[in-house]
């Protein structure tokens, strides 16, 4: 809170979700992993194929959070709300695990 109160610009609390990149030998392997990831709730997952034929399957969670806390040095939320956001971010981290 002390650092937040001293901020002179914009402050945002940001939590980024889990991402796992898997290099696959065959496209069929990537497609199977993609199906498993989607069916497990990782809806932002996808497959990319590079120019050299490198096949990468990315398993991505949807557990993100981005909330502005201050604007031009003015605190826009209460300390109680920040504590709530920290609790929510910690829950998302547990879900990532």
30, 56: one domain? yes
- List the end-to-end C-alpha distance of the chain, in Å, as a whole number: 27
Summarised one tens digit per residue, pLDDT across range 50-79 is: 989 999 999 998 888 999 999 999 999 999
Q: Residue 67 has which token pair? A: 């909330």
Dihedral of the alpha carbons of 31, 37, 41, 47, in degrees to the nearest 10 = -60
Summarised one tens digit per residue, pLDDT across range 15-40 is: 988 899 999 999 999 999 999 999 98
24, 44: one domain? yes
- Assign 5 a pLDDT band (cuts: 50, 70, 90): confident
Q: Which residues of 9-20 are buried (b: 16+ CB within 10 A; e: fewer)?
A: eebebebebbee
Q: Which domain holds residue 37?
A: 19-62
Query: What total number of domains does the chain contain?
Result: 2
Whole-model pTM: value is: 0.67
């Amino acid at each position: 809170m002390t650092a937040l109160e001293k901020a002179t610009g914009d402050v945002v609390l940001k939590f980024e979700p889990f991402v796992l990149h898997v290099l696959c030998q065959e496209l069929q392997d990537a497609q199977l992993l993609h199906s498993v990831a989607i069916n497990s709730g990782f809806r932002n997952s996808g497959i990319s194929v590079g120019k050299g034929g490198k096949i990468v399957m990315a398993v991505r969670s949807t557990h993100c959070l981005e909330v502005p806390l201050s604007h031009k040095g003015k605190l826009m939320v209460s300390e109680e709300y920040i504590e709530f956001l920290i609790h929510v971010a910690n829950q998302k981290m547990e879900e990532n695990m």
